[in-house]
Amino acid sequence: MKELTLTTHVKVYQYDELSEEDRKLIDKAKEATARSYAPYSQFAVGAAALLSDGTIVTGTNQENVAYPSGICAERTTLFYANSQYPDQAVRVLAIAAKTEGDFIGKPISPCGACRQVMAETEKRYGQPMRILLYGKQGIYEIENVAGLLPLAFD
């Protein structure tokens, strides 16, 4: 018998410890929450993707009265980025969430379906996609999608 141990390294930053580029991306994800459509959950999520040519695209969660028809901010953003800029890798994805008028303290953790889409995006462009999860108490940095989805189906 053999055992495999899979580890995820998460760096936790305070906002002012981040690079200017990362701060800007977090700001864009936070701003995007204002464009969320979340009448059912009242949980507004924004995401911002930095592409390899420097373009930033943002997206939000979009809910629907037929609940499963809605989509998370991460997938809105990645599908939009891949639709509009199919030749640009996604280098960094930042995510922020707001509820009851304030940003959450502990970072949001993306759902399984979004992790699978992140894995596909990373694989498609053949380079790591860094993930920044914003929380008021600290920002988690995960260096690639395997950190969120180990042993991914591919």
Which of the residues are catalytic?
74
Among positions 51, 73, 131, 132, the unique one binding ligand THU when judged by CB under 6 A: 73
**45 touches ligand THU by CB under 6 A:** yes
Q: How far apart are CA 45 and CA 105, in angstroms?
A: 14
**140 touches ligand THU by CB under 6 A:** no
Name the segment binding ligand THU (CB under 6 A); options: 26-34, 72-80, 122-130, 134-142. 72-80
Among positions 110, 138, 139, 141, the unique one binding ligand THU when judged by CB under 6 A: 110
CB of 6 to ligand THU, least distance (A): 21
* Sign of the Cα pseudo-torsion (67, 80, 130, 96, in order): negative
Q: How far apart are CA 72 and CA 60, in angstroms?
A: 7
